[in-house]
């Protein structure tokens, strides 16, 4: 089957990626306009805020202190390569597992959303702020992780994490055994 034929078969997954990208960018524009001037807004007290921030680095702020142009190239080159590889794989694969394909579609949309931020803004807009203030949980998190506050993230990051979890679950899920005689 040609690449175009495969793409046509997988268009639903590319539509998922496009929806993630659009939702990510729309929320970032809205957050920039509405939340940036207001500061943090409590949604679930003691657990979840909307808080505007910008991340010059990669995951959890890694590489944020790296000097330009190296930081920009590193955080631009790797995502571009990953996006191209995932898109080609999604278009060409004969993989039948829908959760694998859906996971890849989520990662593709999320990676593209954060790449758009880096190209347009030079950094990624984050706004989802999760933390624990309930004393027993906060103490446990501080003991185990050294913090009870998760780094601020966005829709694209969420899609990447959910997509990666789907891929891990697919790897860990037992493969069904063929029926006897087959």
Looking at the annotation, which residues are catalytic?
Answer: 126, 157
Around 149, how many Cα atoms within 13 Å sit in the side-chain half-sphere? 6
23: left (phi over 0), alpha (psi -120 to 50) or beta: alpha
How far CA 101 is from CA of 8, 13, 49, 87, 91, in Å, comes to 14, 7, 32, 11, 10
- 89, 156 contact by CB (below 8 A): no
Distance CA 63, CA 77 (A): 14
Instruction: Write out 68-125 in H/E/C secondary structure.
Output: CCHHHHHHHHHHHHHHHHHHHHHHHCCCCCHHHHHHHHHHHHHHHHHHHHHHHHCCEE
Give which of 52, 58, 64 is closest to 28, Cα–Cα: 52
């Amino acid at each position: 089957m040609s690449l175009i034929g495969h793409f046509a078969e997988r268009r639903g997954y590319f539509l998922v990626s496009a929806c993630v990208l659009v939702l990510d960018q729309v929320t970032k524009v809205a957050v920039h306009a509405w939340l940036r001037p207001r500061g943090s807004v409590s949604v679930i007290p003691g657990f979840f805020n909307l808080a505007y921030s910008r991340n010059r680095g990669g995951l959890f702020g890694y590489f944020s202190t790296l000097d330009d142009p190296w930081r920009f190239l590193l955080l631009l080159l790797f995502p571009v390569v990953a996006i191209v590889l995932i898109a080609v794989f999604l278009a060409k694969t004969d993989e039948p597992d829908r959760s694998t394909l859906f996971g890849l579609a989520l990662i593709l949309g999320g990676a593209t959303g954060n790449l758009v931020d880096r190209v347009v803004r030079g950094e990624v807009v984050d706004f989802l702020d999760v933390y624990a203030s309930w004393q027993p949980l906060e103490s446990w998190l501080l003991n185990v992780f050294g913090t009870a506050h998760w780094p601020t993230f966005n829709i694209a990051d969420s899609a990447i994490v959910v997509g990666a979890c789907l891929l891990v679950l697919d790897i860990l899920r037992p493969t069904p055994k063929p029926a006897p005689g087959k």
